[in-house]
Amino acid sequence: MKKWFVLLLFIGICHTSRAQVLIGLLFGDKLNSDKVAFGLMGGPGFADISGIESKPRTTFNLGLYFSIRLGDKWIIQPEAWAKLGMGAKDIPPYSTGDPGLDSFYKTGSIVREIKGFSGMVTMRYPIFGTFYLELGPQANLTTKVKDVFMTKAHDNELTYKTDVESHFTKLDFGMIAGLVYRFAPNIHAMSIGTRYYMGLTDIMKDPVGVQANRMFQVNLYIPIGAAKAAERSAQKKQPKKQD
């Protein structure tokens, strides 16, 4: 019962994350304070899958974040990724059950496209100047999985797509570790970082070995509404004019 409750809660949170991107852009200044920064993050990811022969697949990811300062050193950062792509490419072809297709694509390869949402919480600690180490757990909700068979015939690239979502689990969990550089000491400053996600759970329902998602990311963190929030805070601190 608890497992289904957690799954439904996670789906509800992630299902609205695309709308949250728009809401964040419109009301970002109201989500900032002296110790809290809100913003938009995005960047390329290079995903692959452990346990199978494959090469990294390039994706683009987009989400929202809160940076919350805890004391002088520690920063906690909850993140919600509205668009997260995983998977791999150059996977050896398998049998589709259709002898004609199998014969046609046997010399090709497969691109596995895994799409979904993601939520995580990282802890950041400064190691030198405005460089931070980050570490934390990540949970992914898979919404679509497609295998794209690819081959070349007469210098033309031919593809065949098949939905394989039923063979994969909806949820998977793992850990992330990374390095972040903030362009200024202020918590509302723009920053850039690299991180690595290592999946710790099997994403396949079929008991044929263990396969886990992995991804290297380069992320740009852009604060939203920080300038307006700072201006509003400064206006509040100004002494009122007396008649």
Phi, psi of 101, deg, nearest 5: -65, -40
Distance CA(38)–CA(66), nearest Å, equals 5
The DSSP code sequence of 51-107 is TSS-B-EEEEEEEEEEEEEETTTEEEEEEEEEEEEEEEEEEPP---S-HHHHHHHTT
In angstroms, rounded to a whole number, what is the distance separating the alpha carbons of residues 51 and 181? 33
**pLDDT per residue rounded down to tens, the chain (243 residues):** 444 444 444 444 444 444 445 554 445 456 667 788 988 999 999 999 999 999 999 999 999 999 999 988 899 999 999 889 999 999 999 988 888 888 888 888 999 999 999 999 999 999 999 999 999 999 999 999 999 999 887 777 888 999 999 999 999 999 999 999 999 988 888 999 999 999 999 999 876 678 999 999 999 999 887 555 555 544 455 555 554
Strand partners, 43: 61
The fold of 2-236 is: Porin (2.40.160)
* Helix (H) / strand (E) containing 230: helix 226-237
pTM, to two decimals: 0.79
Quick one: tokens of 34?
């002296």
Residue-level pLDDT at 227: 53
Domain ranges of the chain: 2-236
